[in-house]
C-alpha cells in the first residue's frame, strides 16, 4: 500500500481478520514466552518476579493485576500450548461474534478479576497465592465461547468431537481441580473469571453504544461480517442455479 507505514499496513491486516485484538495478544504471548524461555536462569528471574501476581505484594505492585498474564514460568510448555491454542482458535471466534470493543472489555475484566478474587481469598483465608501466565483469562475466553456457541463442535485433543457446552464444563472442571488441588478453597476464586465470562456472554452485562469512528476495529469487523454474508449469499445463489440447471436437464431427459 503506497504512502502507508509498515505499522499501518500491519494494523490494516489485523483489522481485516475481524479479530485484531486476539491475534495481537497471540503474538505478544508468544514473544513473552520466548523472552522468558531464553532468559531463564538470568535476567528473566527478576523480570518474572516483577510481572507475576503475588497476593502479598499486590498493593505495592498493582500493575501485576494485568502483567501476570504475560509472565511465564520457565517450565510451562504445556501451559503455553494451551494459551496459544485458546488465543488462536477460540478468542478470534468470540471477538468476531461480540465485536472488538466488547471483547476487549470482557478480556480486561476476566484478566483482572482473577487476581482480585485471589487477593480477597488470600486475605480472608490466609492463603499464599501467586499467579503467572494467561491460563485463567484464556480459560474464561473458552467458557465465553462455549456459552455463545453451545452447539458448535470442536475436536478435543484433535481426536474427540465435543460440543461447545461440554467443552465449557470440562474447562471449568480442569480449572477447579488444577487450582484447588491440595487447597479446595482456591478453586472457588479460580472460577470467578470463568463465571464473569459466562454471565457476560449470556447477556448479564452490556456496554453503552460507542460512537462510530472511521477505521475502528468494530468498523473492520462490520466490513468482515458484510463480506462473509455476501460470500454466503453468493454460494447460496450458485447452489440454487446449479440445482435448477440439473432439474431442467432431468426434465429434458424424461421427455
Three-class DSSP labels, 180-222 = HCCCCHHHHHHCHHHHHHHHHHHHHCCCCCCCCCCCCHHHHHH
Report the pLDDT value the prediction gives residue 110, as an integer from 0 to 100.
96
Average pLDDT over residues 234-248: 67
CA distances in angstroms from 31 to 70, 79, 84, 138, 141, listed in the order given:
9, 15, 11, 17, 20
- Mean pLDDT over 46-60 rounds to 84
Instruction: Specify the pLDDT at position 43.
Output: 60
Query: What is the band of 122 on the pLDDT scale with cuts at 50, 70, 90?
Result: confident
Query: The domain 8-222: what is its CATH number?
Result: 1.20.1540.10
Whether pLDDT at 17 is above 90: no
Question: Could you give the CA distance from residue 78 to residue 157 in angstroms, rounded to a whole number?
Answer: 13
Confidence of residue 55 (pLDDT cuts 50, 70, 90): confident
Q: Of 36, 67, 33, 73, whose CA–CA distance to 53 is shortest?
A: 67
Q: What is the pLDDT of residue 205?
A: 66
Question: Whose CA is closest to 118, among 97, 108, 132?
Answer: 132
As a whole number of angstroms, the distance between CA 18 and CA 21 comes to: 9
pLDDT score of 212 more than 60: no
What is the Cα–Cα distance from 175 to 135, expressed in whole angstroms? 9
Average pLDDT of the chain to the nearest whole number: 81
* 76-105: pLDDT as tens digits: 788 889 999 999 999 999 999 988 999 999
- Please report the pLDDT score of residue 217 as a whole number: 46
Please give the Cα distance from 189 to 175 (Å, whole number).
10
The 3-state DSSP class for residue 163 equals strand
User: For position 70, what pLDDT does the model report?
Assistant: 92
Residue 172 has pLDDT above 90, yes or no: yes
Please say whether the beta carbons of 163 and 152 come within 8 A: yes
Confidence band for 235, pLDDT divided at 50, 70 and 90: low
Residue 39 in this model has a pLDDT that exceeds 60: yes
The mean per-residue pLDDT over the stretch 174-199 comes to: 91
In whole angstroms, give the CA distance from residue 97 to residue 92. Answer: 9
pLDDT reported for residue 30: 92
Q: What integer pLDDT is reported at residue 183 of this predicted model?
A: 83
Q: Which has the higher per-residue pLDDT, 61 or 74?
A: 61
Q: Which of 3-12, 35-44, 161-170 has the highest mean pLDDT?
A: 161-170
Kindly state the helix (H) or strand (E) to which residue 87 belongs, with its residue range: none
**pLDDT above 50 for 216:** no
Amino acid at each position: 500500500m503506497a504512502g502507508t507505514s509498515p505499522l499501518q499496513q500491519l494494523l490494516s491486516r489485523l483489522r481485516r481478520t475481524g479479530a485484531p485484538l486476539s491475534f495481537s495478544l497471540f503474538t505478544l504471548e508468544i514473544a513473552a514466552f520466548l523472552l522468558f524461555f531464553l532468559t531463564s536462569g538470568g535476567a528473566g528471574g527478576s523480570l518474572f518476579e516483577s510481572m507475576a501476581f503475588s497476593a502479598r505484594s499486590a498493593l505495592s505492585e498493582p500493575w501485576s493485576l494485568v502483567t501476570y498474564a504475560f509472565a511465564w514460568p520457565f517450565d510451562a510448555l504445556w501451559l503455553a500450548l494451551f494459551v496459544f491454542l485458546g488465543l488462536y482458535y477460540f478468542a478470534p471466534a468470540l471477538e468476531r461474534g461480540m465485536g472488538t470493543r466488547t471483547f476487549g472489555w470482557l478480556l480486561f475484566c476476566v484478566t483482572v478479576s482473577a487476581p482480585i478474587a485471589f487477593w480477597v481469598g488470600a486475605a480472608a483465608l490466609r492463603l499464599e497465592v501467586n499467579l503467572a501466565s494467561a491460563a485463567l483469562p484464556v480459560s474464561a475466553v473458552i467458557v465465553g465461547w462455549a456459552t455463545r456457541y453451545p452447539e458448535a463442535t470442536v475436536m478435543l485433543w484433535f481426536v474427540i468431537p465435543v460440543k461447545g457446552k461440554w467443552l465449557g464444563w470440562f474447562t471449568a472442571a480442569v480449572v477447579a481441580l488444577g487450582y484447588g488441588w491440595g487447597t479446595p478453597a482456591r478453586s472457588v476464586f479460580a472460577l470467578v473469571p470463568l463465571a464473569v465470562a459466562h454471565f457476560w456472554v449470556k447477556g448479564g452485562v452490556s456496554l453503552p453504544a460507542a460512537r462510530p469512528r472511521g477505521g475502528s476495529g468494530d468498523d473492520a469487523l462490520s466490513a468482515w461480517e458484510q463480506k462473509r454474508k455476501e460470500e454466503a449469499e453468493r454460494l447460496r445463489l450458485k447452489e440454487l442455479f446449479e440445482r435448477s440447471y440439473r432439474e431442467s436437464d432431468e426434465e429434458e431427459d424424461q421427455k
